[in-house]
Amino acid sequence: MLVFHQLSESAATAMQVPSLDPDLFPLLMFICLILVCILCLSCLILVIVVIRLCVHTQQNPPVKVEEKKKDVKAVKEVKEEIKKTIKKLSEPVQELFHSAQDHLKHPKQPQQQHFTQQSIDSFCHPSSTMSVSHTQHLVAVATPEANTILFQVDQDFNLCFYESSTPDETENEKYDFKSLKVDGGVIKVNSKLPVIAAVAFSLQFYCNGEAQVRVYYVSRDGNYLRELQRAGGVKGKWKHGEKFNNKNYRIAEGSGLTANVFQISNQNFAVKVYYQESNEDIYADVVYNIVGSNEWSTRPNVTQA
């Protein structure tokens, strides 16, 4: 009996299955996902080949032996192309499988485990490994003082600007770089929609001909268009455009944003801001203000009268 009991314990010990390392589950799921994708792609290619052969047979019935031979040859060539494609797709999976085997053989290597997890994260979230250039959110205006103001959204989604001291770039004068602030507070734009627009103008009948700059952006919360104003050139202070901001014009996610100043008559100039209010309407909308008045008007869908 004692011998039988010892044999039973030995058998039970031998039958115990080692538990799988929990860190391997994402890797195994990733490999399974790749295999399923390859299988689906292969099936899709096979279905396309079969459909093409059926259509070709219906349109050109094989009445001659030579045509049949050509069809057979074409089918063989297609099969070879399918095999090559499947082989190319299966090579990265085989590499992942070999990496998984190495991980199973050496589970205590943290560097390899970190690399595998990083590879999975970069596949599932490709944007996390890509560096985003914030200089793509730029807009420039020329002021009546013959200087250039270049507005930019920085890496923290704050609004900043460069201002030149001369219109001639050959003089190699550096631009002044500042964060755009109103009453000491930095202006933060919408991180999901960091589009900006700006205009600059000077009119003799408005504010004694002082240089005017308007900047338009999207509020951090609520997707509302906002306006900033500066009058009086370089020494002027920035302030919120209250009349415009009180309108709370909404902008659609993914919309662009641009603006211009246009002379509509001898004495009347209009500031126009173009954007898309809703994703349901694919056409641009415009809001405009006659310089010197406090009213902003809306014209949805500029393609309609």
Q: Where is mean pLDDT largest: 15-19, 92-96, 138-142?
A: 138-142
Of 24-28, 131-135, 222-226, the least confident: 131-135
- Kindly report, residue by residue over 100-147, the tens digit of the pLDDT: 555 554 444 444 444 344 444 444 444 433 445 556 689 999 987 778
Q: Give CA–CA dist 286/273, Å, rounded.
A: 6
Domain boundaries, the chain: 23-129, 134-299
- Proportion of the chain above pLDDT 90, given as a percent: 38
* Token output for 251: 């902008």
Calpha distance 301→216 (Å, rounded): 20
Pull the structure tokens for residue 108. 């205590």
Q: Is 246 helix (H, G, I), strand (E, B) or coil?
A: coil
Please tell me which residue, 197 or 62, carries the higher pLDDT value: 197
The model's confidence at residue 99, banded by pLDDT at 50, 70 and 90, is low
**pLDDT the model gives residue 119:** 43
Residue 244 has pLDDT above 90, yes or no: yes
Q: What does the pLDDT average to over 64-93?
A: 67
β-strand 148-153 against 225-231: which pairing, if any? unpaired
202 — pLDDT class (breaks 50, 70, 90): confident
Mean pLDDT of 21-48: 80
Does the domain spanning 134-299 belong to CATH 2.40.110.10? Answer: no
Indicate the average pLDDT of the chain.
78
The confidence score (pLDDT) of residue 94 equals 61
Lowest mean pLDDT segment, chosen from 73-82, 98-107, 192-201, 296-305: 98-107
Please say if the pLDDT value at position 176 is more than 70. yes
What's the predicted TM-score (pTM) here?
Answer: 0.57
Residues 251-303 pLDDT 10s: 999 999 999 998 887 778 899 999 999 988 889 999 999 998 889 999 999 99
Closest to 260 measured CA to CA, from 247, 248, 275: 275
> Higher model confidence: residue 120 or residue 195?
195
- What was the pLDDT predicted at 75? 73
Q: What is the pLDDT of residue 114?
A: 41
Distance of CA 66 to the CA centre of its chain: 54
Q: Any residues with CB less than 8 A from the CB of 260 and at least 6 apart, and which?
A: 199, 271, 272
The stretch 56-79 carries a mean pLDDT of 64
Task: Check pLDDT > 70 for residue 1.
Answer: no
**Most confident listed range (70-74, 105-109, 204-208):** 204-208
What is the structure's pLDDT at 227?
98
Classified as helix, coil or strand, 32 is helix
